[in-house]
Homo-oligomer: A and B are copies of this chain.
């Protein structure tokens, strides 16, 4: 089996590749060939070095898609994107990568299939940013996509293309609408959603973190481990039972910031929780107020997708996967 990961240097891409390296038969047949692509050169796992090609590509330039598909990968994980803030600031770049780059990939698959029969599995990283406020209390499975960012627009368009190309049997696609990933590893970042992870990750490492919103703010979460699990499941499941509605809101945990902090207190004690400093930021509070708080993800759950049920689970996964199982 030839596996292609586009966006292999990103947070989920790296974790997915690590997982494949650790369990090469998780996709069924075992991996005979692995191609990793990203805008920055992706790391190659030591155990798969002999079968791996790492490529530095710009998806906005249509050629790389053709080159990637010439190798006829059987499973394609498409995780690459210009993130929300940058796609909003740079209109052309966001559309060039998130829309045109994705479409170039889909078209390269179509052309390859015209040359010789070919129908790979395509797993696409979408986002709950396809939805735009105002929302019902729980967003149902048939709620419309009225995004309020160009990023969300580009993801919603890619979802429509994925469904049409799948309906025409050009490929076998599944769109994975990811919850906000928590706890994000790495340094604190400036993304408006950063604090959801910062207020756990930093105290768990004995450091202060800033909370810019009130504790009653509710949002929708899954761990990085669940995110990898979503893609693996989508790559291996029986897609014949999905039907033509190929884009799935993944399961997640609806929780408030207060519930996050209580879970931190239970896992790591009062000292950790006391490292969270309240510094209300009306700008961030305003942005976050427009975000969804809860979903009915019953459809994806019926199809076998799973996420965490409590924030303590999410924290314990972070401790296991990022802190070698121990608190400092």
Contacts and interface: CB of A to CB of B under 8 A. Distances in A.
Interface of A: 91, 132, 136, 142-148, 150, 153, 156-157, 160-161, 163-164, 167-168, 244-245
B168 A91 contact: yes
Most B C-beta atoms less than 10 A away, residue of A145, A147, A150, A164: A164
The 3 closest A-B pairs by CB, nearest first: A153-B164, A144-B144, A142-B144
A160 B145 CA distance: 9
Contacts of A167: 148
A168 B11 CA distance: 30
A168 to B, nearest CB: 7
A160 B164 contact: no
Contact of A245 (B91, B146, B156, B244): B146
A132 B167 CA distance: 12
Given A142-B143, A160-B153, A148 B91 contact: no
A160 B168 contact: no
Given A147-B160, A157-B157, A160-B160, 5 more contacts: A142-B144, A144-B145, A146-B163, A146-B244, A153-B163
B164 A150 contact: yes
A242 to B, nearest CB: 12
22 contacts: A132-B244, A132-B245, A136-B142, A142-B143, A142-B144, A143-B144, A144-B145, A146-B163, A146-B244, A146-B245, A147-B160, A147-B163, A148-B244, A150-B164, A150-B168, A153-B160, A153-B161, A153-B164, A156-B160, A157-B157, A157-B160, A160-B160
A164 B146 contact: no
A132 B144 CA distance: 13
Contacts of A164: 147, 150, 153
Contacts of A148: 167, 244
Most B C-beta atoms less than 10 A away, residue of A150, A160, A163, A245: A160
A249 B215 CA distance: 39
A144 B245 CA distance: 10
Contacts of A160: 145, 147, 153, 156-157, 160
A82 B156 CA distance: 22
Nearest to A164: B153
A102 to B, nearest CB: 12
B168 A161 contact: no
A147 B161 CA distance: 10
Contacts of A132: 244-245
A146 B157 CA distance: 11
Contacts of A144: 142-145
Nearest to A245: B146
Contacts of A156: 160
A147 B164 CA distance: 8
A142 B136 CA distance: 10
Nearest to A91: B168
Contacts of A143: 142, 144
